[in-house]
Amino acid sequence: MPILVRVSDGAGDSGACVQAIKWKEDGRVDEIVDNRPVVGCSLLVGSFTARSYSGQDYWLTTPVTKILEESPGLIRFMTRSGSEYLFKYDGEIPPFKKEEK
C-alpha cells in the first residue's frame, strides 16, 4: 500500500488512493494527471472512502517543485511549502489510466 511521509516530522498517510492533482488558477481542481508525484501538482494519498475512528482520511501536499530521488519503491520530493516527502510503495506503480471526458 502506498505511504506518504513528511521527512521533518513523520506525518502523512497511507492508502490505495494516490492522485497527482493539477490546479486551476482559481484554486479548483483542474485534473488528476497521474498516480505518483508530478512536478507542478499536489499529491493526495489516503483512502477512497471515509475511515471509521480516524482523524483524517487523506494527506494532500502543496505542489511538487522537485523530484530529488526516484528508485524502485521510493520517490523523494520537495514541495512549494519547502517540505521534503518520501512516497513509498510496494512493487510497481500501476500505469495511470486517464478518464475520458
In a domain, 98, yes or no: no
Domain-embedded: residue 57? yes
Confirm whether 64 is domain-assigned.
Answer: yes
CA–CA–CA angle 37, 6, 2 (5° rounding): 50
Amino acid letter for position 14: S
Q: Which residue has the higher pLDDT, 89 or 91?
A: 89
pLDDT tens readout for residues 53-77:
667 789 999 999 999 999 999 999 9
Residue 52 inside a domain? The answer is: yes
Name the grid cell of 94: 500501476
> What is the radius of gyration, based on Cα positions, of the chain?
13
Query: Is residue 93 a part of any domain in this protein?
Result: no
Sheet holding 3-6, edge to edge: 12-14, 3-6, 84-88, 74-79, 64-71
CA 30 to chain centre: 16
Give per-residue pLDDT as tens, 2-28: 999 999 999 999 998 999 999 999 999
**Cell numbers found for residue 52:** 471509521
58 located within any domain: yes
The count of structural domains within the chain is 1
Task: Read off the pTM.
Answer: 0.88
Residue 13 falls inside a structural domain:
yes
Give the structural domain span for 45. 3-88
Q: Is residue 99 assigned to a domain?
A: no
